[in-house]
A and B are shown apart, each in its own frame.
Chain A
Amino acid sequence: MPTNHDHTAEAAMRLLYANATKHPSPEFVERLGRSLDLPPSHPAARSIPLRPERRSAPLIARPQQFLALLAIVVLFVSSAAWIGLNDLHAPNQSTAIQTTPGNLPGQRWSLPGGDRFSVTGYAEASNGIFYRGVLEVFVTPTPRSSTYTTTFTAFEGNTGKQLWSRELLPASAADSDALGLYLAVIDERRAASVVLLDAETGDQRWKADVPSGATHLEVVGDNVLVQDWANHLTVLDRKSGAVRWQVAIGPPSGSSEQATIPLLVYGAFVVAKAPGSPLQVLDIESGAVVWSLDVGDAIEAAISNNTLAIIRSGSNSSEPTGEAEQITAYALSTGMPLWHRELNSRISEQIPRILGTRSGFAVIARQLGEVVSDRPEGATAAPDADPEALMSTEHALGKNPLVHILFGLDPASGATSWMTEWAFRSGERDRAVSGDIAQVATIPGTDTFFITTLDLKAGWLTAPQPKFAAQMRYPDVHIPFAVVRFDGTSGRPFDIPELPFAIVLDDSNAYLAYNTAGMVALTRGDP
């Protein structure tokens, strides 16, 4: 393997390249910085889009407080698993986005979303009620001051009828069940609490203080689990809000950095991990540590059939090494290692996702290169079983590099149980654009999981399936409200491919398709 090359040629090329390098115009750099809403410290910064008139007295007047507000905005959006980016940097425009009811398969009703001054956050659904949160920001330019409100609205799932609407403090996490909507909120003094809003009326049923802003909130059985920025795990009684137990799962971070893996709950066990701390498996009744393990830079985790599977980055080094990512499975109740696999995919824009379904694990890896690794014999990569699949995948890669490889893993052995390739495409065959994955979710207790993309299309897959037989419904449906925006100053289409889109599941018989432009209720239609 050659390791050296012609340094004279390299030097000459670098010299030529340096002299040929084109720089963007200062105006372009400033304009793009503005469109990203970079904070005031940046020379190109500007505020969150200005609403024409301020509705209430300013709460925030200093830059530090303004940055804190920005952090809340980002936390609000990111914790809801998708980004309202188009609302954060929408250009001046007059074209309003309207829903187009009636042309999405299974559509029941639709409602318009917020405007460009608002960020649509939470989508929750439970017991036939859909919930939506909208964060609105009001800014005056001179002197710069900001205030904000968060409005949560409940809709009747079958008809779209609004049940109630409440204006609240900014929230950082949410979940729902038959009792109502659980929200982790932060007040103006950064004090954090969890509230329960009644499903039928929106009235506050209880409020419980928690140590800091929540990064995760899960309602499981009679417990409300809250993981916060300071790396506490607090468990509340869902009916009264009383604290059942509280433990530290890592040293206080003092920042809004989220845990490296999400909070997982399965039966009597809670799996939690704070950045830089060991993974802990806790007893949900007492908070006692059942077992813990240093899993390093674990990046994803899921549970299926009492098996905990963890994806680790291929290297703990801050420098990429080209090493494959690894999946290691442990017995959930004891921590005993069960099996270990290596993936061939390399970290790219998206890390592999792993989901736990009723029957096994589903791994979703974005593939741009080789499908089968050249690792030493005995350490082959998954998926590794079928040459036909490899050929098929290579063909797909030739057409479209944004192909995702999906495969199922047997929880007991780690063996590859199914495999398929998947991508959303739009347009003509050779002009296809495929989408990045925005959201993945499992319907609890089933083998069905969802993927939503950043390309405005939705589909579902059922797993496990025989190889190459994964089903996809609505394979090429444009969500009707996801229209292209136009820049009102130039008439140019403001085509943001990643216009956010998400689906939430109701436990009755409907889905709620959702983005910042609107919401649509769909008949569930499971096979």
Chain B
Amino acid sequence: MASKTWDEIVSPATDRTERANRSDDESLAQAARGNPAAFAPLYERYVRPIYAYCYQRLGSRDLADDATSAVFMKAFAAMPKYRSASFRGWLYTIARNVITDQFRSQTSAPLDRATTLADRRPDPEMLALAGDADARVRHLLNQLTPEQREVIELDLAGLSGREIALVLHRREGAIRASRFRAYKKLRTLLTEEELRNAH
């Protein structure tokens, strides 16, 4: 896989597109309440980010396939009654709940441990040594508390602090605090090369 540079990730053009997309999310979502045709662009816009989020949480393509399917089926079914303030926040809330249900269906462990049960793949440290960027991210996130990890995963998925607060049903101030502590911790875990590459 070709690596992306930091500039490619946060280029102004991308940022403008993102803002434009978000600005018409709500009008599309409102239209999709009465007309399924309007759901198509929302599906196109979010199927890949939602898949990436599900994969990050669940750690396998099969599970990510199942979860992504469930997210969009639930969202499509619920569109006629959609009345949230943020389509993206609403969609990620569904995704989070679907993932939680997947954890439940896979394990008999108490639910409050679910956020720590995501990684069923080989030792992430070993994979990281083998240069697997996915495993490296997973390994780093596993060093955080479950609460911090959820915040950072949504943050990396591109959600704003308000949207993360919406998804996690926590106060925005609490999200800011978790985010601050998480990146402070990550700063100590990232290698010098990784930090250097970010500049």
Q: Contact mask A355-387 → B, CB, 8 Å, 1/0?
A: 000000000000111100010000000000000
> Is A74's CB under 8 angstroms from B34's CB?
yes
- Among A53-61, A128-136, A202-210, A311-319, the stretch in contact with B: A311-319
How many Å lie between the Cα of A9 and that of B108 in the bound state?
Answer: 36
Bound complex: CA A24 to CA B172 (Å):
31
Within 8 Å of chain B (Cβ to Cβ): is A391? no
- In angstroms, how far is the closest chain A Cβ from the Cβ of B137? 5
Most A CB within 10 A of own CB, among B37, B48, B166: B37
CA distance A228 to B183 in the complex (A): 52
Contacts of A67 in B (CB 8 A): 35, 37
Interface class of chain B by DSSP = helix
Cross-interface CB contact of A38 among B39, B81, B136, B197, cutoff 8 Å: B39
Q: Which of B35, B83, B140, B167 has the most CB of A within 10 A?
A: B35
Q: Type the 1/0 row for A1-44, where 1 means its CB is closer than 8 Å to any CB of B.
A: 11111101111111111111111100011001101111101100
Q: A8-B195, A319-B85 are in contact. Are A348 and B187 (CB under 8 A)?
A: no
Q: Are B78 and A349 in contact (CB under 8 A)?
A: yes
Known contacts: A36-B43, A71-B35, A401-B100. The answer to whether A313 contacts B3 by CB under 8 A is no
Query: Which residue on chain B has the smallest CB distance to residue A317?
Result: B85
Task: Enumerate chain A residues within 8 angstroms of B166, measured Cβ to Cβ.
Answer: 320, 322, 346-348
Is A247's beta carbon under 8 Å from chain B? no
Q: How far is the CA of A430 from the CA of B110 in the complex (A)?
A: 6
Chain A positions within 8 Å of B61 at CB level: 22
Interface residues on B, range: 35 or more
CB A366 to nearest CB in B, in angstroms, measures: 9
Given the interface pairs A370-B170, A401-B111, the reply to whether A19 lies near B133 with Cβ below 8 Å is yes
In the assembly, what is the distance between CA of A336 and CA of B9, in Å?
Answer: 54
B-binding segment of A254-262, A462-470, A503-511: A254-262
Task: Considering the complex, give the chain A residue whose CB is closest to the CB of B189.
Answer: A9
Residues of A within 8 A of B68 (CB): 24, 28, 32
> With an 8 A cutoff between CB atoms, is A179 at the interface?
no
With A9-B184, A9-B186 already in contact, the answer to whether A74 and B194 are too (CB < 8 A) is no
B15 on the A face (CB < 8 A): no
Q: Which residue of B lies closest to A313 (CB)?
A: B85
The A-contacting residues of B in range 167-190, CB under 8 angstroms, are: 167-173, 176-177, 179-184, 186-187, 190
B142 within 8 A of A: no
Q: Which residues of B contact A401 (CB under 8 A)?
A: 97, 100, 111
Q: Which residues of A contact B156 (CB under 8 A)?
A: 13-14, 17
Chain A residue contacts of B1, Cβ below 8 A? 19
Inter-subunit contact B198/A41 (CB<8 Å)? no
A20 and B34 contacting across the interface, CB-CB below 8 Å: no
Q: How far is the CB of B136 from chain A (nearest CB, A)?
A: 6
Q: How far is the CB of A153 from chain B (nearest CB, A)?
A: 24
Q: Which chain B residues lie closer than 8 Å to A313 at the CB level?
A: 83, 85
Report Cα–Cα, A325/B187, bound state, in Å: 37
Q: List the B residue with the shortest CB-CB distance to A67.
A: B37
Which A residues are in CB contact (< 8 Å) with B170?
Answer: 369-370
> Is residue A428 within 8 Å, beta carbon to beta carbon, of the partner chain?
yes
Q: Do A22 and B187 touch (CB < 8 A)?
A: no
Whether A2 and B4, one on each chain, are in contact in the complex, defined by CB atoms closer than 8 angstroms, is: no
Q: Are A18 and B83 in contact (CB under 8 A)?
A: no
Contact string against B for A residues 420-439, beta-carbon threshold 8 Å, 1 for contact and 0 otherwise? 00000000101111000000
Tell whether A243 is near chain B: CB-to-CB under 8 Å.
Answer: no
Query: Distance in Å from the Cβ of B165 to the closest Cβ of chain A?
Result: 5
Most interface-central of A4, A13, A321 (chain B CB within 10 A)? A13
CB-based contact B10/A14 at 8 Å: yes
Q: For A18, what are the chain B residues with a Cβ–Cβ distance below 8 Å?
A: 4, 8-9
Determine the residue in chain A with the shortest Cβ distance to B6. A15
Mark each residue of chain B from 94 to 115: 1 if its CB lies under 8 Å from any CB of chain A, else 0.
1001001100110111111000
Q: Interface readout for A321-335 with B: 1 if CB under 8 Å, 0 if not?
A: 110000000000000
- CB-CB < 8 A to B97: which residues of A? 349, 401-402
A169 contacts B by Cβ under 8 Å: no
- Asked whether any CB of chain A lies closer than 8 Å to the CB of B28, the reply is no
Instruction: Give A490 to B194 CA distance when docked, in angstroms.
Output: 44
Shortest CB–CB separation between residue B139 and chain A, in angstroms? 10
Complex Cα–Cα for A2 and B183 (A): 12
* Chain B 124-163 per-residue mask, 1 if CB under 8 angstroms from chain A, else 0: 0000000001101100100000000000100010001011
Residues of A within 8 A of B (CB): 1-6, 8-24, 28-29, 32-33, 35-39, 41-42, 45, 67, 70-71, 73-75, 77-78, 83, 85, 89, 255-258, 260, 299, 313, 315, 317-322, 345-351, 367-370, 374, 398-402, 428, 430-433, 496-498
Cross-chain pairs A/B with CB under 8 angstroms, 11 sampled: A1-B176, A5-B179, A5-B183, A9-B187, A13-B183, A36-B36, A39-B37, A41-B37, A321-B172, A346-B166, A398-B112
